[in-house]
Chains A and B, each alone.
Chain A
């Protein structure tokens, strides 16, 4: 499943990415990488971004980007 499939307050573990090298690198340098546990804090309506928590960071990430993050629900 994808990061966008998590409902609010649900947690998941990142298992992979779809999308190019540059994309993956951008996410990684902000701490969003394989093996990390993410929690969805908020989902903005009408295709807006979602807000996730990774470690101690809160990050806003566009819906299109979040679609390319593969997770397993915890």
Chain B
């Protein structure tokens, strides 16, 4: 049996999904976290059924690409569980009535039941059940309340005969239903609500937003650094003698030594520079990048679960609208700062092709992923002015690129129209769980690629292939960007993974010849010229062939242009 979870955005479908299947999925307090469907299985009595979590939709007549997915999937369902936000019964019932008109057995979960009570909303569940003629179960998915009853009553899901409505009579009917089943006690604005309102008003909201962003990035840097020096570095110090033993065993200069341990510097192992699989191959992902990934995803989760992101989207809308998107474009940027892949996928929440094209292209050009950022930190950590230089350049490129594309990319550019959820206090348990989930993705994705990348680079060096390629592109890199020819290899590695590429700059073969200014130029060009393999594949999947080629051309030319300008400013002719 195929059971579908369907409902408006941000009503807690994904939380219900985790409750029913035991599968952990990312949930957040803003509409549009789920943009792809998720599969799981659940047991009802003796039978195992397939349960599918769908992206939220307000209506079965889709408005964006995300909503289309849901409308398509419903047609194949055996049972639909309609998750309804009890605090907004009226609006949610529209989708419920639409679902009732389909020929698919339906059951309603009145979620956020506790919050509704809190807001002074009373819903007569039995009466609602009577009117709709399908089971209606109050639930509080975050605590698990009512979930058992929901499961036990899935078999009662029904598809009663309902006359087809026009849109207008659907609203008339909803009005009647709400009048019969719901009583709302009037309440005054609480202090909490007043403070919440202040964070979305320009005069108070903008300073607050700046403070939130500053604290967020400072926390990422501090917590990342802390984790590295207190936890991960000591672990690698314990590990070092083991690799030294291995090094002696293999014998310096043998091919296997070169691949596994890499170069020795001053008779010892330098984890950053050796470039062996068991040295740099482990150290870079685990000790250099992982701490920052953990810190970043934790802070991102705080922003997501508190419900702040839609407020930030509102305040930023003005700027983003001029860049051809609207305020919601800030959400993909945040996700992209972790990893571009989920960032590019999240551009689906934007409505038109133009908006998605601009958002995805700017992401690939100017949003460095955490792996890359962590490596840049590792190299330039003590030269803050150069860090600022890199990130201010990228922000400028994002804004100017958006202004230009908004003029030239064809298509519509609809305005922001976004539900702002109430603030919620994030639960530490959920935050940690979510961080862990995302860190797992990172590790599953990063480790194989980094291993493969280091292995490949070593092999190609040994075979002399890289010198050959280096020779071909050297004139370009030397004359246009003012960089040593060895950087060609770095740029090649960037096609695989950006963090790997930045890491290679530390190899003694290269680092000795670079000034910090040249490093800045390299880091910026490396961010912009092309996405890493995984991001490129995602881009292709999201944009299609033609737009991907167009997008790639924009990336390459921007990299040349900006790299060239930076070179003139920083290095002279």
Contact = CB atoms under 8 A, between A and B. Distances in A.
Contact of A60 (B61, B414, B418): B418
B122 interface: no
Contacts of A33: 171
Between B87, B314, B318, B419, the greatest number of chain A beta carbons within 10 A of the residue's beta carbon is seen for B314
Contact of B314 (A31, A47, A57, A60): A60
Nearest to A36: B90
Contacts of A45: 202, 318
A59 interface: yes
Given A41-B197, A44-B314, A48-B317, A55 B91 contact: yes
A1 interface: no
Contacts of B318: 44-49
B547 to A, nearest CB: 24
Interface string A29-59: 1110100000001111111110100011111
A65 B317 CA distance: 14
B415 A63 contact: yes
B114 to A, nearest CB: 14
Given A25-B167, A30-B91, A60 B63 contact: no
A46 B87 CA distance: 33
B200 A31 contact: no
Interface in B411-428: 414-422
B317 A31 contact: no
A30 B67 CA distance: 14
A60 B420 contact: yes
A28 interface: yes
Interface residues of A, number: 30
B315 interface: yes
Contact of B417 (A41, A47, A57, A60): A60
Nearest to A65: B415
B88 A31 contact: yes
A44 to B, nearest CB: 6
B317 A55 contact: no
Contact of A30 (B121, B205, B419): B419
Contacts of A64: 415
A59 B418 contact: yes
A49 B416 contact: yes
A57 B417 CA distance: 13
28 contacts: A25-B167, A28-B171, A29-B94, A29-B95, A30-B91, A31-B91, A42-B200, A42-B202, A42-B205, A44-B202, A44-B314, A44-B317, A48-B202, A49-B317, A51-B200, A55-B91, A56-B87, A56-B119, A57-B88, A57-B420, A58-B421, A59-B418, A61-B416, A61-B417, A62-B321, A62-B414, A63-B415, A64-B415
Given A42-B202, A44-B315, A46-B318, 15 more contacts: A8-B201, A25-B59, A26-B417, A31-B88, A41-B197, A49-B416, A55-B90, A56-B87, A57-B91, A57-B419, A58-B421, A60-B200, A60-B417, A62-B415, A65-B417
